[in-house]
Chains A and B, each alone.
Chain A
Amino acid sequence: MTTSLANQAWDACSSALQFDQYLAGELDPPDAERFRAHVDDCARCTSALNELRSGAKERLPPLRVVPFPPRSRFPIRALAAAAGIVAAASLLLVVRSPGTRSKGTGFTLGMYVEHQGEVRRAGPGETVAPGDAVRFAVSAPVDVFVAVLSLDANGHGSIYFPAGGRAERVQAGNDVALPLGTRLDATAGEERILGLFCASPVELEPLRLQLERGGPEIPDGCQVTRWSFVKR
């Protein structure tokens, strides 16, 4: 095995799984007793156990998945209706993590940033640098027409995706990378991103112009996702 793997290896006489099962009370009493007896006589295992116990005290953030009552009060989105999605399936509201913005029925927009050779998944408000490359990825339960627009700190609107003048069809899937990446220019400041998920290939130039004037008005049959990053 490579040196890197050896360096990462769990360093105790029993596996990490067995330690966790012991702490969770999952071992049978005789096995737990044998485990305890060994740990008492083994400095390395005592240290591992103490470390796990210490880690178990860490305060976790709230669980971001909120159980819903079976009958949702939330309206069926126009796109969901067009796509034939049954709203009754929405028993859970998932508050998505940073790096993914979603609205409605499972359409999400993620962004990857390449900075000096390293690629990371970006979150809203991410700080990026001129020359960084960005690429968007979408997750969608059904095929959908997608566009990504931006408004930079100087008020200039751009269409990041697609290259043509209309929203482009993207197949259903998880984290499907859009086929165009962008190398960021030198305009510093906050850049606002608008992701559109539409039931039809909407015209984008009017939306770009509206974006520059403080809009846009979201076309019927579209959902919008907004976030921003800061270039400095």
Chain B
Amino acid sequence: MSLDAGAIERLYRSHGHIVLRRARALLGSEEDAQEALQEVFASLLRAPHSLRNATSVVGWLYQSTTHFCLNQLRNRRTGARLLQSSVAPAPAHVAGRGGEVLAELRRVLSRLPADVAAATVYHHLDGMTHAEVAGLLGCSRRKVGYLLERAQRSLALLEQSA
């Protein structure tokens, strides 16, 4: 399946809400979710052939949105770490008043390997079966079970260290 620009514009109108809804849930920021919406469809305009092998447009949008949002969460984490490591200490009246940089869930996802994080999102947040996750990730159901087990172990470790 490969689309011209007009068809992609129509797809944006008919399916864009799927991207926006999931991006809002994953990123927790309206501005970032709107950015994800634009970027997912911009990537499709740049490379319409990426839909060629997709059996489901909705599935492709799920994959693309998840990939973009998890990258954003990792970038936020990188930005936070860089700021903490390279910026001069805050004045006393500013330091110490801060809350958490990110919500727990997003922080956890940003720390997981990409395939583990994607499997976690699909299974736990989207309610997908192992077979559905395997279909989107292009792997076996056994591999999905392995990824989710890794996620559990990583989360347990993170909770212990928190």
| Nearest-CB residue, chain B, relative to A61 | B34
Q: CB within 8 Å of B: which of A136-185? A: 137, 175, 177, 179-183
Interface string of B30-59 (1 = CB under 8 A from A): 011011011101100110000000001111
Residues of B within 8 A of A60 (CB): 12-13, 16-17, 20, 37
Q: Within 8 Å of chain B (Cβ to Cβ): is A119?
A: yes
Interface membership of B18, Cβ < 8 A: yes
What is the bound-complex CA distance between A61 and B46, given in angstroms? 19
Given known contacts A97-B38, A116-B97, A21 and B13 CB-to-CB distance under 8 angstroms: no
Q: Nearest Cβ distance between residue B52 and chain A, in whole angstroms?
A: 17
Tell me whether B42 and A65 are in contact (CB under 8 A).
Answer: yes
Docked-complex contact B80 and A8, CB < 8 angstroms: no
In the complex, which range does the number of interface residues on chain B fall in?
35 or more
| A52: min CB distance to chain B, Å | 8
Q: Chain B residues near A92 (CB, 8 Å)?
A: 42, 45-46
Q: What string of 1s and 0s marks CB contacts (under 8 Å) between A1-26 and chain B?
A: 11011101111101111101100101
A2-B104, A14-B127, A118-B99 in contact; A64/B13 too (CB < 8 A)?
Answer: no
> In the complex, are the beta carbons of B17 and A177 less than 8 A apart?
no
Q: Which residues of A from 87 to 138 have beta carbons under 8 Å from B?
A: 92, 94, 97-99, 112, 114, 116-121, 123, 131-133, 135, 137
The answer to whether B126 has its CB under 8 Å from any CB of chain A is: yes
Neighbouring A residues of B31 by C-beta, 8 Å: 98-99, 121, 123
Q: Does A217 contact B (CB under 8 A)?
A: no
Closest Cβ–Cβ distance, residue A179 to chain B (whole Å): 7
Is B142 an interface position by the 8 A CB rule?
Answer: no
Chain A hits for B79, CB < 8 A: 112, 119, 121, 135, 137, 177
| Interface secondary structure of A, over-half rule | mixed
Contact, CB under 8 Å: A118 / B25 = no
Select one of B5, B76, B88 contacting A67, CB under 8 A. Answer: B5
A18 and B42 within 8 A (CB): no
User: A15–B22 Cα gap in the complex (Å)?
Assistant: 13
Measured CA separation A179–B86 after assembly (Å) = 7
Chain B CB within 8 A of A55 CB = yes
Nearest B-chain residue to A113, judged by Cβ: B83
In the complex, the answer to whether A20 meets B58 with C-beta atoms within 8 Å is: yes
Among A9, A120, A179, the residue within 8 A (CB) of B127 is A9
Q: What are 16 contact pairs spanning A and B, CB under 8 A? A: A1-B152, A5-B124, A15-B129, A17-B132, A21-B58, A21-B59, A26-B56, A64-B38, A97-B39, A117-B97, A118-B101, A119-B83, A177-B78, A181-B82, A181-B86, A183-B87
